[in-house]
Amino acid sequence: MKEIHIFNSFKTEFGGSEQEALHLSNILSKHANVTLWASTSRACPKLMKKNNIRKVSFLQKNGYPKKGTYIFVGCHWRNKLWPYLIGRPDRLINIYNTFHPKHVKITSHHPKLLKWPDVEYIVVSNYQKNSERIDATVFPSPIDISEFSSIATHRGDSGITIIGRMSRDDPGKHNLQDIELYKKLARDNVKIILQGASCLINELENTKNIKILETGTLKASEFYSSIDIFYYRTGKHVETFGRVIFEAMAAGLPVIAENKGGYVDWIEHGKNGFLFNTTEEAQALLEMLIEDKSLRRYIGKNAVDTVNTMYGEGSLQEQVNFYLK
């Protein structure tokens, strides 16, 4: 079997890049010998122990890869000595899942003495590929949608509409214009759950009908089970993919998201989700879905169909074939 080594920072249990690396490992481990490596000394100990992730160490016999396919997920060699000490890869694949042009500049060339193979780039959306003008293959970020499919099947109707949003607890992940939108909806007796929004606690704490949860309070599947509409907009951060969007869609939720980010490649406005450009548009869409339960069910069903196509056997096999060739 092929030897495949997957590198990531593995700094947090809840990061999209970390989840992408773990899910890719799960997919490829059925066809190859896969080893996970932490590319930084600041990796999360709990995450490393749970997933048998190794820390690169040149002082140990098996502390670094000797050969095989090297896949970097959202990271690269930061220490210039590493490439000289590590084994030469058969293939070098870089999954570029952020908007940092310097990343490509750093990784696209290696010292000639290394005789390393050329980098093969993977991006997670056409939105990213076109924005960065990078020569790359496009594969959606790996997600195990089976974790969410049962939620869509058993989704009930509590009679109370709950709007939810989930992300890492990072100010860049939140748009400050949403604070007044949340308050307006809350005054109209709409319940809102924000997981990963502790950075907004000063603006929203003790606001009736708004519940703020720390990142990781609820498992993703539990969170999606507890809401009726998924809402998403970011601040300075731009999503190259937006895996929470697709998790929510897999759970049969109607999604309302800003028209900015990699997820726009797959959302057809009014069919499997909604896209907006202004706060006024967002509010109108939210109010429409709050009032129309049948529309929520229609959009949610189409969202599930979309995600099933994205992560169906054909799409999955295409990715496996690429990494194993």
The gap between the terminal CA atoms of the chain, to the nearest Å, is: 12
Q: Which of 23, 122, 66, 28 is nearest to 324 (CA)?
A: 28
pLDDT single digits (tens) 137-183 = 999 999 999 889 888 766 666 567 899 999 999 999 999 999 999 99
> How does 3-32 read in b/e, with b if 16+ C-beta sit within 10 Å?
bbbbbbbbbbebbbbbbbbbebbebbeeeb
168: which DSSP letter? Answer: -
The predicted pLDDT at position 259 comes to: 98
- Contacts of residue 311, defined as CB under 8 A and 6 or more positions apart, other chains included, come to 140, 143, 145
pLDDT beyond 80 at 201: yes
pLDDT of residue 280: 98
Tell me, what's the pLDDT at 99?
A: 85
Q: Is the pLDDT of residue 79 over 60?
A: no
Fold designation for 3-142: Rossmann fold (3.40.50)
Any idea which architecture 146-310 has in CATH? 3-Layer(aba) Sandwich (3.40)
The whole-number average pLDDT for the span 199-221 is 94
Label the pairing between strands 3-8 and 229-232: unpaired
Mean of the per-residue pLDDT values for the chain? Answer: 92
Output the pTM of the full model.
0.91
Q: What CA–CA distance (Å, rounded) separates 137 from 317? A: 15
Which two tokens mark 26? 């799960």
77 has pLDDT over 90: no
Residue spans of the domains in the chain: they are 3-142, 146-310
| Least-confidence region, from 44-58, 65-79, 171-185 | 65-79
Q: Specify the pLDDT at position 154.
A: 66
Of residues 173 and 77, which shows the higher confidence score?
173
- The values of phi and psi at residue 55, to 5°, are -100, 130
The whole-number average pLDDT for the span 201-228 is 94
Q: How far apart are CA 316 and CA 50, in angstroms?
A: 25
Q: What percent of the chain has pLDDT over 70?
A: 96
- Pair of tokens at residue 285: 């869409």
For residues 190 and 284, give the distance between their C-alpha atoms in angstroms, rounded to a whole number: 14
Q: How confident is the model at residue 89 (pLDDT cuts 50, 70, 90)?
A: very high
Sequence-distant (≥ 6) Cβ neighbours of residue 81 within 8 angstroms: none
The three-point CA angle 81-83-85 to 5° equals 70
pLDDT over threshold 80, residue 306: yes
> What does the pLDDT read at residue 149?
84
* pLDDT the model gives residue 8: 95
Average pLDDT over residues 63-68: 92
Stated as kind and residue range, the H or E segment containing 125 is none
Query: Residue 110 has what pLDDT?
Result: 78
Torsion sign (Cα): 181, 186, 192, 198? positive
How many other β-carbons are positioned within 10 Å of the β-carbon of residue 143? 22
Residue 283's contacts (CB-CB under 8 Å, 6 or more residues apart) are 181, 184, 185
Residue range 94-134, pLDDT digits in tens: 999 888 877 787 788 777 788 889 999 999 999 999 998 89
Distance, CA of 127 to CA of 263 (rounded, Å): 8
pLDDT above 80 (res 81): no
The amino acid at residue 135 is: D
